[in-house]
Amino acid sequence: MRPKRILPDGCLDLIWQDGTVFVAGPDTTAQVTLPPPGSRFAALRFGAGTGPGVLGVPGSELVDQRVPLDALWPAAAVRAVAEAPDPIGALTAAASRRWQDADRVMVALAGAARAGVPVGTVADRCGLSARQLQRRSNTAFGYGPKTLHRILRLQRAVALARTGRPFAAVSADVGYADQAHLAREVRAMAGVPLRELVR
């Protein structure tokens, strides 16, 4: 089995692996995993800054970390999920019980970042100062809007490159200064060249 490279995506995940439950915090660089043969997984992804409200901690406390869920929730609640015969059903039910409505501004920020809208424009549209937007983004996503923008631009670039589009065209379409800028950003966040990601 080959290692799996998981790119940063602006999300938090709640993961069940072989009876252990943990939180995969928001990543700023790719995570490379090689699960043991026969390992079983179930995962619940929180998009658009919704995870921290469910987990009860700001995203900034979980950046680039894998945290046992029982460090955040009562042990009995986590044990019920860990031992459940249907892990994905148990993860979903546990998250539903703690669900809080998403910060609409952060949902708008995620959508704007996915579309490549500049951070200053997002702050103006939301009626927030740069500092207010930074603080709310740190809580919701684990990092500020500029980092979120970089991560989601990387996601767009990789998706477009996987369609077979030339890398120079990808860099222009997604908003990099040039192909060298795209190459630097991919290596910085993914740890490998773009060509290796699209194989």
pLDDT for the residue numbered 49: 87
Residue 186 is predicted with a pLDDT of 97
**Alpha helical stretches, state H, the chain:** 51-55, 75-82, 87-97, 104-115, 119-126, 130-141, 145-161, 167-174, 179-190, 194-197
State the virtual CA torsion across 72, 7, 146, 175 in degrees, nearest 10: -160
| Mean pLDDT, rounded, of the chain | 93
Q: Which of 41, 65, 97 is the last residue of a domain?
A: 97
- The C-alpha atoms of residue 171 and residue 188 are separated, in whole angstroms, by 15
Cα 199–Cα 184–Cα 110 angle in degrees, nearest 5 = 85
Residue 81 half-sphere exposure toward CB, CA atoms < 13 A: 29
- 154 and 183 in a single domain? The answer is yes
Give the span between the Cα atoms of 84 and 19, in whole angstroms. 8
Q: Give the type of residue at 114.
A: R
Residue 147, domain extent: 104-197
Evaluate whether 70 touches 20 at the Cβ level (below 8 Å).
no
Paired residues of 15 in beta bridges: 22, 43
Per the structure, how many domains does the chain have? Answer: 2
What was the pLDDT predicted at 86? 97
Residue-wise pLDDT for 45-73, tens only, equals 998 789 999 999 999 999 999 999 999 99
Quick one: 117 and 50 in the same domain? no
Summarised one tens digit per residue, pLDDT across range 81-132 is 999 999 999 999 999 999 988 888 898 899 998 888 888 888 888 888 888 9
Instruction: Kindly state whether residues 93 and 109 are assigned to the same domain.
Output: no
Same domain flag for 146 and 187: yes
Domain boundary among 78, 97, 116: 97
Average pLDDT over residues 156-180: 96
Does the pLDDT at position 139 exceed 90? yes
Whether 110 and 84 map to the same domain: the answer is: no
Q: According to the model, what pLDDT value does residue 103 have?
A: 87
pLDDT at 17 exceeding the cut of 90: yes
Let me know whether 110 and 188 are in one domain: yes
Residue of 128, 129, 174 whose CA lies nearest to 149 = 174
- Same domain for 121 and 40: no
Measured distance CA(49)–CA(66) in Å, rounded = 17
| Percent of the chain surpassing pLDDT 90 | 77
Q: Among 63, 82, 97, where does a domain finish? A: 97
Same domain, residue pair 108 and 192: yes
CATH of the domain at 112: 1.10.10.60
Q: Is 132 left (phi over 0), alpha (psi -120 to 50) or beta?
A: alpha
- pLDDT-derived band at 1 (thresholds 50, 70, 90) equals low
Q: Are residues 113 and 190 in the same domain?
A: yes
Buried b (16+ CB within 10 A) or exposed e, 116-152: eeebeebbeebebeeeebbebbbbbbbbbbebbbbbb
Average pLDDT rounded to a whole number, residues 36-40: 90
Whether residue 44 sits in one domain with residue 13:
yes
Indicate if 22 and 89 belong to the same structural domain.
yes
Q: Are 175 and 128 within one domain? A: yes
